[in-house]
Structure 1
Amino acid sequence: MHTVDQENVSATLTVAEPAAKVFAVLADPTTHAAIDGTGWVRESVNQAPLTEVGQIFRMDMHHAGHPDGDYRVVNKVQALDPPRAIGWLTGYEKDDGQLEFGGWIWRYDLAALGPSETEVTLTYDWSAVPGFRREYIQFPPFGPEHLINSLRHLAALVSER
């Protein structure tokens, strides 16, 4: 199931695993390429688990529509409430080393439905994207099916571990 409103899109899936196990996979940036439903995430530059709000982690990406094709994003942990929520802002590093964030957030909310079942909601929220960015990036930059694909990849990955 997925919903789209003016400024965000979300999808929800029940995963037959405990919330702590699902959260541990999400907090490991090395799993994000396997979870990604768009196929854009290539590899995590940082291997350290996500453990605190404000933590920075980078991802190597590829998108045919991107001016460079291959590029790197910088993510900043925005929400971290194990095992209930994890989310991050996405941006990039400017030539002078300063980080700039685009205004969109990826967030996973986990609700334990019992000891071995978790409802996971993935939300992509672009409500804080400034107008000048919206002139050259269409939001969302993917169809809502990519979110449910991500959740299915997550469920498969968690059950393998």
Structure 2
Amino acid sequence: MEHRLSWKIIYVKHLDIKTKGVFMKLMIAMLMMLPTLATAATEIVYNSSSNPYIPARGYVTAQQICLNAGKDSFKIFVAQHTVETCDSVKTDYSDSTRPKKVCVGRKMVTVPATTKTVSAFTKKEVCQKWNRNDSAYPRCVSSVMKDTMFSTSYTQYKYEQADWRRERPISAVNKYIETCK
């Protein structure tokens, strides 16, 4: 009988050690999940569009760029930034093969934040007639300038912080520029 009693005591002690081990395993599993949970906060957003006014990085909001109600112009917010300017520019001919432009009176100027209205249309060269004698490289023979509207759509790609090559996006969503209110 004493043997069974001692076995139960050993078993209880063993159970206590097991619960500590399970607790530690659970803590380690939770710590290993932290980077997974943190990726939502540290994801990088890139935007792809043929429209030059859409920012390349970050979320695009109506405060940054919006399409006017008449759909003929964009309202663009330009944040405060610093620009390097020169009082004058001189040409240095000391290197005879390549003359260089030298900035004289270099200074940094802070440009205040502004909101600009720019046209939603641009001139684009469109080919009317092609020379297809060389099938691998057709050439444009005559072209004309036409008014085309900048794209109002863009593709938003989200990447993990660790994906510095931007090879595997988490998501890719097609979005449209909002209209101004």
The TM-score, its normalising length taken from structure 1, stands at: 0.22
Q: Which has the higher contact order (CA 8 A, sep 6+)?
A: 1
The TM-score, its normalising length taken from structure 2, stands at: 0.21
